[in-house]
Amino acid sequence: MFNRCRHRGSAVCRDERGHTDQFCCPYHGWVYGNDGALQGIPQADGYPPTLDKSALGLMHVPRVATYRGLIFASLSPHGESLEERLCHVRKYVDHWCDRSPIGTLTLSRGIHRFSYPGNWKLQMDNGVDGYHGNYVHESFLKVVERAGETSVSDVTALRRTGYVRGLSHGDGLIDRPYGGMAGQFDYHNPTLTEYHGLLQQAYGPERAATILGQQNVFLFPNLFLFESHVRVIKPLTVDHTVVEMRPVMLEGVPHDLNTARLRTHERFFGPAGMGAPDDVEMFVNVQSGLKARAVDWMILSRGLHREVRNEDGELVGASTDEAPQRAAYREWRRLMCVDPPGERFPWA
Amino acid sequence: MTREEAESLLFREARLLDERRFDEWLSMFTDDCLYWIPTVDGDPEHEVSLVYDDIARMKERVYRLLETKAYAQMPPSRTQHNISNVEVLDGPDEPSARVVSNLMLVELRAGGDGQVGTGRLRLLAARCQYLFVNGPDWRIREKKLILIDRDLPHHNLSFIL
Bridge partners, residue B80, by sequence: B106
Q: Tens digit of pLDDT for each residue in A117-155?
A: 999 999 999 999 999 999 999 999 999 999 888 888 888
Interchain CB contact of B102 with A (< 8 Å)? no
B155 CB within 8 Å of a chain A CB: yes
Is the minimum CB–CB distance between A127 and chain B shorter than 8 Å? no
What is the ipTM, given to two decimal places? Answer: 0.95
H-run or E-run covering A216? strand A214-219
Whole-number pLDDT of residue A347 = 44
Task: Specify the range with the lowest mean pLDDT, choosing from A13-17, A272-276, B35-39.
Answer: A13-17
Determine the pLDDT at residue B113.
Answer: 76
CA angle B89, B90, B96 (to 5 degrees): 120
Q: Is the pLDDT of residue A286 over 80?
A: yes
Q: Say yes or no: B137 contacts chain A, CB-CB below 8 A.
A: no
Average pLDDT over residues B65-76: 96
* Per-residue b or e along B28-41, where b marks 16 or more CB atoms closer than 10 Å to that residue's CB: bbeeebbbbbbbee
Distance from C-alpha of A343 to C-alpha of A142, rounded to nearest angstrom: 45
Q: Is residue B11 very low, low, confident or very high in pLDDT (cuts 50, 70, 90)?
A: very high
What pLDDT is recorded for position A342?
55
From CA B7, how far away is CA B97, in angstroms rounded? 12
pLDDT at A188 (0 to 100): 62
A49-58, A148-157, A177-186, B39-48: least confident range: A177-186
Residues in A closer than 8 angstroms to B152, CB to CB, are 113
Q: Which pLDDT tens digit goes with each residue over B114-141?
A: 788 888 899 999 999 999 999 899 999 9
Select from A144, A266, A290 the residue whose CB has the most chain B CBs within 10 Å, as the one to mutate to test that interface: A266
Q: Which residues in chain A are closer than 8 Å to B67, comparing Cβ atoms? A: 142
pLDDT (0 to 100) of residue A344: 52
pLDDT at B79: 98
Residue numbers in A near B45 (CB within 8 A) = 259, 262
- Asked whether the predicted pLDDT for residue A58 surpasses 90, the reply is yes
- Read off φ and ψ for residue A12, nearest 5 degrees: -100, -15
- Which chain A residue has the Cα nearest residue B66? A139
Evaluate if residue A164 carries a pLDDT over 50.
yes
Q: How confident is the model at residue A187 (pLDDT cuts 50, 70, 90)?
A: low
Exposed / middle / buried, residue A35 (Cβ in 10 Å: 0-12, 13-18, 19+): exposed
pLDDT digits (tens, 9 = 90+) for A312-343: 999 999 999 999 999 999 999 989 887 655 55
- Which pLDDT belongs to residue B75? 93
Q: Residues A187-196, buried b or exposed e (16+ Cβ, 10 A)? A: bbbebbeebb
- CA dist B73 → A240, B67, B105 (Å): 20, 11, 17
Per cent of chain A over pLDDT 70 is 95
Tell me the percentage of chain B whose pLDDT exceeds 70: 98
Q: What is the pLDDT of residue B60?
A: 96
Q: What is the pLDDT of residue A198?
A: 95
**Rounded mean pLDDT, B90-118:** 92
CA distance A310 to A316: 7
B87 interfacial to chain A (CB closer than 8 Å):
no
Distance from the Cα of A72 to chain B's closest Cα (Å) equals: 23
Task: From A348, A325, A323, select the one nearest A165 (Cα to Cα).
Answer: A323
Query: Is A116 an 8 Å CB contact of chain B?
Result: yes
More confident residue, B105 or A335: B105
The pLDDT score that the predictor gives to residue A341 is: 58
Residue A152 in contact with partner chain B when CB distance is under 8 A: no
Q: Is the pLDDT of residue A72 over 60?
A: yes
* Neighbouring-strand partners of residue A106: A249
Mean pLDDT throughout A83-95?
Answer: 95
Q: Residue A100 above 90 pLDDT?
A: yes
Examine the pLDDT at B27 and tell me if it is beyond 50: yes
Q: For residue A272, give the nearest of B40, B51, B152 by CB distance.
A: B51
A236 CB within 8 Å of a chain B CB:
no
| In chain B, beta strands by DSSP E | 29-38, 49-53, 78-88, 96-108, 122-134, 138-147
- pLDDT at position A111 over 70: yes
pLDDT of A348 = 37
Average pLDDT over residues A264-283: 95
Q: Given CB atoms, is B95 within the 8 Å cutoff of chain A?
A: no
Does the beta-carbon distance from B63 to A117 stay under 8 Å? no
Computed over every residue of chain B, the mean pLDDT equals 95
Alpha-carbon distance B94 to nearest alpha carbon in chain A (angstroms)? 33
Question: What global pTM score does this model have?
Answer: 0.93
pLDDT of residue A41 exceeding 70, the answer is yes
- Nearest C-alpha of chain A: how many angstroms from B3? 31
CA distance B97 to chain A (A): 27
- The answer to whether residues B143 and B9 touch, using CB atoms and an 8 Å cutoff, is no
A143 to chain B, any CB pair closer than 8 A? The answer is yes
